Structure formats: structure tokens, C-alpha cells
Amino acid sequence: MNRIIPTAIAMTMVAGAASAQDEVRFGTNWLAQGGHGGFYQALADGTYAEYGLDVEIVEGGPQMNNRPMLPAGRLDFLMAGNLLLSFDNVRNDIPTTVVAAFFQRDPQALMSHAGVYEDFADLANAPTVLLSRDGQFSFWQWLVDEHGFRDEQLRPYGFNIAQFLQDEEIVQQAYATAEPLYAAAEGAEVDTYLLAEQGWNTYATTIETRTELVENDPDLVQRFVDASIIGWYNFLYGDRSAAYDLIMEENPEQSVEKLDAEVAQMMDLGIVDSGDAREHGIGALDLDRVAAFHDLAVNSGIIEEGALDPGAVATDQFVNNGVGMDLYTDR
């Protein structure tokens, strides 16, 4: 596939090249992986530089919590998880704002051994559901309220699938681009039920920045968002080898085979380029959907009614403009 650079982008490239690069520190939420690919693509192929940005990607991970670094001013942008974390910021008067949503569908899922349960509803009859502590205080409450799961099913999940592999009746939480692939590598056939297909309507892999940057330097925010969007189009539909190289350099546990499998899963499930992204471009945000997920969280008892103003969580001023949609003629 050949990359096509629209006139508007070419003009930005010239402007960016003619001026000093703005230094930007962008924190991720975990170790480098395929789910971060568009950002590494924008760094590897020079898109950030074309937009006048000198971007440093700061990995998250088990020993690095990047969240407090954003309001402290040590990061300029942060890759968040789903919207619950952003709700929590608003509730606690932490001055951050969501400016883009790169996963239109949250990859959070439940996983069972293939054929053991008839469908998603039947999972509520499983004797054991393995869930992390974070899951217990978020989507589990919705599963109980909306889908008839029971607290007596709960057992702790320590992010190791060994227990699941040993007992075919166990159901466990899964990130749809991770645990199902790990199980397949161990020879286990699984059924994966994406919570997004059952009504869990949050965005994921959102981008947060400090509210003062939105107010005082919207040009910087716009350039970072636009360049990241283009990075994702190039990663999904173009030559992603340079991004792979950067990801594997940052995280040696990755491999081309693992990354290919993760990207294929993202594509098959429509994690990035689906829903509103198909009409408005990758990164799209619908503020009515943000409010709807707030209502789901309130109705499920995840957050208290009146604890926050959902209108203060996100802005759509930097997205929904079709940026990057014309990069490839064979999309």
C-alpha cells in the first residue's frame, strides 16, 4: 500500500519543519504492545515530527503508574483505560480532560472454554468467575445488576491463566487482545465474549491531557491528537514494521508473531476503526455516549448519582473531523 499525504497534511509538514519542535511527554498505561501501535507508528514514521512534535513515549507497567504524572505536569498526555478513571478524576477535582478515544470498543471480555457454556447469558451459571480487584469494583457490578451474575461466583484473578487452563468450568476476565491469545498458545480453545457487545458502552484507550493545556495551548493538543490519529491509520492499514521495531525494543517480550496476532484480533473485533470512527475518523468522541456510560455506571452502583458532572469529563473539539480517513485509497 502506498501512503497518500493530503495537501493539508503536507502544509502542516512544511510548517512543522520550519519551526522548532515542541517537546511532548506521552505516558502509556502498560508495557509496549500492539494496542499502543498507532502511537509508536506516529513516532517511528516521523508523523509526530511532521506535526512539529518531539514526542517521548513513557511506558507504563507493573512498576510504573503514569496516572499521577499527568496532573503533576510530568506528562503532557496520558493513555487512560476506560471512562471510569476519567470520571474519578472529575469527581476528585483533578483538572484533566479526555480529548480523544482511540478504542471505540473496550476490549474487556469474559473468556470460557469453548463449548462449555451455551452463550453469554449462560456464563451467569458458572461456578467460578475469576476477576481482578479492579474488575470487581467496576464491570462486575454491572454484570450483577444487568446480567444476573452472583457475588458467590467471584474468585481473585492474578493475571495468570494457569487456573483457567486446569478447570474447564472456570470463566475469567480477559482483555480480548491478550488472554485469548495466551490460551490459544497453550492449546486451549476458548469462547471470548466482548463486554461491549453486551452493553458495556465505555470508550477505552482514551487520551487525557491537563485542562489548562486544552484552554491555553489548544494548537499543541490538536497537533498531538491529529498526528496520533494518522499514526493509527498508518499502523492498521500500512507498513507497521517500524512501529513493531520500536515496540519490541521497549518490550523485548514482544515478537512479530505476537504483535501480528494482537493486531489481527483488534481488527476482527473492530476495536479501533468502528462505530463513530467509521463516519468521523479514528479517535472519535460522542459526548452523548460519555453521558450514557455515566448513567450506566450510576444505575449499576459503580458511582454515586450526582458525584460528578459528565459534561466535564471530555471535549470533542479535537476530534470528529475526518482526519486521516483519506490516507489510503483501499480502506
Burial 64-84 (b: 16+ CB within 10 A, else e): eebbebbbeeebbbbbbbbbb
Tens digits of residue pLDDT in 66-75: 889 999 999 9
Residues in the chain: 331
What is the Cα–Cα distance from 171 to 149, expressed in whole angstroms? 12
> One-letter amino acid identity for 89?
N
**Averaged pLDDT for residues 38-56:** 98
Share of the chain above pLDDT 90, in %: 88
pLDDT computed for residue 17 by the predictor: 45
pLDDT higher than 90, residue 64:
no
Q: Which three cell numbers stand for residue 135?
A: 474488575
Q: Give the pLDDT band (50/70/90) at residue 63.
A: confident
> Sheet of 53-58: strands edge to edge?
53-58, 22-27, 77-79, 204-210, 96-103
Q: Which pLDDT tens digit goes with each residue over 292-306?
A: 999 999 999 999 999
Q: How confident is the model at residue 3 (pLDDT cuts 50, 70, 90)?
A: very low
Question: What's the rounded mean pLDDT across residues 165-169?
Answer: 97
pLDDT value for 19: 62
**DSSP classification of residue 148:** -
Mean pLDDT computed over 209-238: 97
16 falls in which pLDDT band (50, 70, 90)? very low
pTM attached to this predicted model: 0.91
| Residues facing 171 on adjacent strands | 129
Per-residue pLDDT at 49 exceeds 90: yes
Q: Flag whether pLDDT at 276 surpasses 50.
A: yes
Mean per-residue pLDDT for 217-226?
98
Q: Is the pLDDT of residue 15 over 50?
A: no
User: Residue 18 — pLDDT band, cuts 50, 70, 90?
Assistant: very low
**258-278 burial, b if ≥16 CB within 10 A, otherwise e?**
bbebbbebbeebbbbbbbbbe
Average pLDDT over residues 278-293: 97
The mean per-residue pLDDT over the stretch 81-103 comes to 96
51 residue type, one letter: Y
Per-residue confidence (pLDDT) for residue 62, from 0 to 100: 78
Does the fold of domain 108-198 match that of domain 7-105+202-312? yes
What is the average pLDDT across 190-205?
97
Statement: residue 32 has pLDDT above 60? yes
pLDDT surpassing 70 at residue 328: no
Where do the structural domains in the chain lie, given as residue ranges? 7-105+202-312, 108-198
pLDDT at position 330 is 53
Q: Residue 255 and residue 109: Cα distance in Å, rounded?
A: 24
Contact 61, 10 (CB under 8 A): no
CATH of domain 108-198: 3.40.190.120
CATH T-level fold of 7-105+202-312: D-Maltodextrin-Binding Protein; domain 2 (3.40.190)
Measure the CA–CA gap between 100 and 111, rounded to whole angstroms: 28
DSSP run (H or E) holding 280: helix 276-280
Instruction: Work out whether the CA dihedral 35, 39, 43, 45 comes out positive or negative.
Output: positive
Q: What is the DSSP string of 204-264?
A: EEEEEEEHHHHHH-HHHHHHHHHHHHHHHHHHHHS--HHHHHHHHHH-TT--HHHHHHHHH
**Taking a C-beta distance cutoff of 8 angstroms, is the pair 105, 269 a contact?**
yes
